[in-house]
Structure formats: C-alpha cells, structure tokens
C-alpha cells in the first residue's frame, strides 16, 4: 500500500511530527510495553480496522509503504482480542498475537500464519511477550467470569473492579515459538495481567496483580522462569500509595514505574531483585509512561484536559526537572486502542504514539531533539 505519511510542526514546541497512518478507521501502535519495531528498526507494526476488519500491518519508516500481514478479523466483547498485545520476536521477523482463543505466529516476510496453541474453554487470554532469546512466548490466561456480570475491558474498563473482586484463577504460560507443549509456569487465584519479559534476560518476566491500584495487595511481581519462583517487586509502603504502569528499561534488569500518594507523585526504578531502588518526586500528572533508562521519561499527560500533550521529564542533579512539552496529542483515551501509549524508540531519538485528534486513531512519531530546547509545562 502507498505511503500515508504527512508531516507538520507542533504548534507548541515546533517539533517535527510525522503522522504515519491516515486511513479513515482506527489505527494504533502496540501497547507501550511491547516494542513494535522490526527489520532493524526500519518498520513498525500497527493494528488497523481497515475495510471493516481488524488486522495487523507494518509501516516502513523510511518510505511510508504499508504492508498488511493478516487477513481476518477479531471477535467482539467480552472475548475480544487486540493487536495492542501482539509481540515481535527479537531474533527473527515474526510476531505473535491472539485471535480469539487461538495463539498465532505470523511470518512478517511471507505473512504465513501458524497456530501454536488454543486457550482452553473457560479462560480469556491477554498480554503476549517473547523471551529475550526469541525461543518462547509468555502470556497469561485468566478465568472467564463474563457470565456473572458485563465485561468489556477494552472499551471503558467495564467489569474491571468486579473482575478483580472475583479473584479469577490465572495462569502464566510459556509456549515454544517453534511449536511444542504449552507449559504453565505460574498460577494463582488472583487476577494477573501485564506479562512483560525482560529484553535481555530470557529467564525473567514481570507481571502484575491486576485491579484498582488502591485495592490490590501488591501491583508488581517478578517471575524467574527457570526456577519457578515469584516475588513481590517494590512492596507497597503505605495504605494510600498507588504504583503501576511498570515496564523494563533497556538493560533488562531494571523495572521502571510511577506512583501516587507517597505523599507526592514520583517516578521509580528498581532492579528485578529489589536492589538499587531509586525514586524521585515528579511534578505534574500522567498516565502511561516509558523510558529506556532513568534519565528521560515520556508521559501521556492523561487527566490534563488543559494541555493534552506528551511531556518529558529529564533527570538532573538527583531530581527530575519540571515536565517539558514535547507535542500536543489531543487524544481522547476513549478506548484502549485510542490510549496514547507513548514509547521512546530504541535509539532514543523519537516517540511513537497514537491519537484520534483527527477523529480516527492514527499512529504518530515525534522527534525528541534537544530536550533543553523544549518549553516547560505551565
């Protein structure tokens, strides 16, 4: 497909923004914990509702050419699945995703699909991540309790608190990418979500106890796949504290996160073994955040109706500077695929994000440039 790229300069900061998609339907990049770059960073995966069906595509970041990889559709709620949670193999041009209860592999060169596993009846699948060696897919399935109350987690978090209160049985699974039996590597009677494999350590992944941040027992956990042992990561320190939106730094041993109520808002980073804890106060507010390390963090500014913009926090002298504006996104956050989900590129030069500022969700890329040139949020 021909390029849909258009370019403009942000009115607040002058930064160059590239709109990578422009089809009159919702498009979105992958979830902020799931890098979608492949072909040595030249291409980016995205999901799109083109021609009335939801499929997986790539955009060539150099010439804008778009390639469709799948040719099917996704089921609807409550068992709806999404390409938000797809994952790229770090070692070869292949991606993995759920289509309903089927766990599938897609060769990104030939577009040939392979079915790897089927989620059993009575369970719902969720996030996918690939181990750092490229050998296995890790995912989570949890008990389907949608017959007890309405559930539509991808559109307005319908049933979110009720799901947490049910304590559904959850299993973290490991499936070989070249085929083979599925192995349950962790299970418990608690709602588990957000499986994130370390980008450098094949035996490590993080997961979360899903639910309202102020009500769950502890948000962040680490699982050692090789030993089967799991432990709390950065335990809650007081009843009013809320921590989450965890993600791995590029080193694969540090987990980043942000929190509220300690008594201030803060950014944090901690090694997987609960050592080297760093937490610094942050000004402003945000939803999803991402960084490659603890020196520069991007956030979506969710909740700030006055300035719906990406903002950057730069570490300086043992603290984070006040937030600087990177660009307006004007996103509505009306559903999961319309969340902004900013993610810094592996080379640290750009941020990819989703916005429906034009009415449809589209994928964007903005250059970071010299952070010191950016205006502070006022």
201 and 296 part of one domain: no
Cβ count near 91 (within 10 Å): 13
Q: What is the pLDDT of residue 123?
A: 97
Record the tokens describing residue 68, joined without a space.
């469709």
Q: What is the pLDDT of residue 261?
A: 81
Say if 54 falls within a structural domain. Answer: no
Q: Mean pLDDT of all residues in the chain?
A: 96
78 and 216 part of one domain: yes
Q: Which residue, of 232, 267, 298, is where some domain finishes?
A: 232
Mean pLDDT by 10 residues, the chain (378 residues): 97 97 98 97 98 97 98 89 97 98 98 98 96 98 94 90 96 97 98 97 98 94 98 90 95 96 89 97 94 98 92 95 97 96 98 98 98 96
217 and 78 part of one domain: yes
Q: Which residue, of 174, 198, 232, is where some domain finishes?
A: 232
Say if 119 falls within a structural domain. Answer: yes
What is the per-residue burial (b if ≥16 Cβ within 10 Å, else e) of 1-34?
Answer: eeebbeeeebeebebebbbbbebeebbbbbbbbb
The dihedral of CA 140, 363, 359, 340: what is its sign?
positive
Which residues have CB under 8 Å from 245's CB, separation 6+? 257, 258, 287, 288, 289
139 and 193 part of one domain: yes
Say if 1 falls within a structural domain. Answer: yes
Q: What is the pLDDT of residue 3?
A: 97
217 and 247 part of one domain: no
CA distances from 51 to 64, 73, 143, 227 (A): 20, 10, 33, 46
Q: Write the pLDDT tens digit of every residue in 29-78.
A: 999 999 999 999 999 999 999 999 999 999 999 999 999 999 999 998 88
CATH assignment of the domain containing 127 = 2.130.10.10
188 and 247 part of one domain: no
294 — alpha (psi -120 to 50), left (phi > 0) or beta?
Answer: alpha
Cβ count near 47 (within 10 Å): 27
Q: What is the pLDDT of residue 77?
A: 82
Q: Write the pLDDT tens digit of every residue in 74-118.
A: 998 888 899 999 999 999 999 999 999 999 999 999 999 999 999
- Measured distance CA(138)–CA(127) in Å, rounded: 8
Say if 350 falls within a structural domain. Answer: yes
Strand segments, DSSP code E, in 210-323 are 220-224, 229-232, 242-248, 254-260, 266-271, 278-281, 289-290, 296-299, 309-316, 319-320
- Measured distance CA(9)–CA(345) in Å, rounded: 19
273 and 185 part of one domain: no
Say if 297 falls within a structural domain. Answer: yes
262 and 228 part of one domain: no
Record the tokens describing residue 57, joined without a space.
């595509």
Range of the domain at 340: 1-20+242-378
Question: Nearest 5°: CA angle at 56, between 55 and 58?
Answer: 140
- Phi, psi for residue 89 in degrees, rounded to 5: -70, 125
Number of compact structural domains in the chain: 2
14 and 131 part of one domain: no
189 and 275 part of one domain: no
Please name which of 248, 345, 258, 353 lies closest in space to residue 33, comparing C-alpha atoms: 248
94 and 227 part of one domain: yes
Q: Which residue, of 203, 232, 261, is where some domain finishes?
A: 232
99 and 246 part of one domain: no
Say if 128 falls within a structural domain. Answer: yes
Say if 275 falls within a structural domain. Answer: yes
- Measured distance CA(249)–CA(233) in Å, rounded: 15
Say if 58 falls within a structural domain. Answer: no
């Amino acid at each position: 497909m021909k390029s849909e790229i258009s370019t403009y300069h942000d009115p607040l900061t002058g930064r160059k923004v590239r709109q990578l998609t422009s089809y009159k339907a919702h498009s979105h990049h992958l979830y902020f914990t799931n890098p979608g770059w492949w072909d040595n960073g030249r291409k980016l995966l995205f999901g799109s509702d083109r021609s009335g069906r939801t499929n997986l595509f790539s955009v060539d970041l150099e010439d804008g050419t778009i390639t469709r990889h799948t040719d099917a559709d996704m089921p609807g709620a409550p068992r709806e699945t999404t390409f938000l949670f797809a994952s790229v193999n770090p070692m070869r041009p292949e991606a993995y995703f759920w289509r309903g209860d089927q766990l599938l592999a897609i060769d990104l060169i030939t577009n040939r699909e392979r079915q790897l596993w089927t989620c059993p009846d009575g369970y719902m699948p969720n996030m996918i991540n690939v181990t750092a060696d490229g050998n296995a897919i890790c995912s989570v399935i949890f008990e389907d309790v949608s017959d007890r109350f309405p559930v539509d987690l991808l559109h307005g978090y319908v049933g979110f608190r009720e799901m947490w209160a049910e304590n559904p049985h959850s299993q973290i699974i490991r499936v070989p990418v070249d085929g083979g039996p599925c192995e349950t590597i962790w299970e418990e009677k608690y709602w588990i979500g957000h499986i994130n494999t370390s980008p450098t350590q094949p035996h490590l992944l993080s997961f979360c106890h899903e639910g309202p941040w102020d009500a769950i027992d502890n948000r962040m956990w680490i699982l050692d796949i090789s030993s089967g042992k799991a432990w709390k990561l950065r335990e809650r320190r007081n009843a009013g504290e809320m921590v989450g939106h965890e993600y791995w730094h590029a080193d694969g041993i540090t987990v980043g996160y942000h929190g509220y109520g300690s008594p201030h808002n803060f950014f944090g980073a901690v090694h997987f073994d609960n050592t080297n804890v760093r937490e610094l106060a942050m000004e402003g507010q945000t939803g999803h955040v991402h960084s490659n390390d603890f020196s520069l963090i991007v956030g979506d500014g969710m909740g700030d109706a006055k300035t719906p913009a990406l903002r950057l926090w730069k570490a300086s002298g043992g603290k984070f500077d006040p937030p600087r504006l990177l660009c307006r996104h004007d996103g509505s956050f009306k559903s999961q695929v319309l969340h902004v989900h900013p993610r810094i590129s592996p080379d640290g030069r750009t941020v990819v994000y989703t916005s429906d500022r034009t009415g449809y969700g589209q994928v964007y890329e903005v250059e970071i440039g010299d952070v010191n040139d950016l205006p502070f949020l006022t």
